[in-house]
Amino acid sequence: MKKLLFSAIVTLIAVNCMGQAKLAFPFQGGKDVMNRFFKDNLTVSPDIINRRATGMVLFKFTADDKGKITKIIVYYADDAVLVPPVIAALKKSNHKWIIADGIAFTDFILPVSYSFYQPDTDTLAVKRAVYDFNQNHKPIFSTDQIPLDMATLLPTVMVNYSLAQ
């Protein structure tokens, strides 16, 4: 009898327990639409191409209940030249962010990774430009603690560009 009662309790607890709840993606249309949006709206500047810049940028931004971006903070950037195109694309994404009902605003963390397509001919000039960028880049990073509160980490946006632009 004890085994039967114990089994029934365990079964009821297991049925009522929920793992990680499936949340709706916070961009209208889902992850694929968000990636396509950034691919279409994130314009790589000529300065990035000329410097053969690669690296990572990490943003925290706040969206209000209407999906409008109210605050953008740069947490980390491998170089300052990588930041302006992402800010311009984020500003174009106003009113596309989905916030849960009853919440005034939500914080999101967006990582963006830059790289370029390997040219057909591996020239010494390209290698030298990449080396020069890595030697002379000036990262933006925090020197103090950063409270993350209840931020949502979004998937990394991959930006690949061609050197022949």
**Global confidence as pTM:** 0.76
pLDDT at 25: 85
**Tens-of-pLDDT digits for all 165 residues of the chain?**
777 766 767 676 766 665 545 567 888 889 999 999 999 999 999 999 988 899 999 999 999 988 899 999 998 999 999 999 999 999 999 999 988 877 888 899 999 999 988 877 767 888 888 889 888 888 887 777 777 778 888 898 999 898 875
Q: Cβ neighbours of residue 78 under 8 Å, at least 6 residues apart?
A: 53, 54, 55, 56, 57, 114, 137, 139
Q: How far is Cα 117 from Cα 163, in angstroms, rounded to an integer?
A: 7
pLDDT value at residue 20: 46
Q: Are 12 and 140 in contact (CB under 8 A)?
A: no
Alpha carbons 122 and 102: distance in angstroms, whole number: 55
Query: How much is the pLDDT for 153?
Result: 85
Which pLDDT score is estimated for 23? Answer: 61
What are the residue ranges spanned by the domains of the chain?
Answer: 21-161
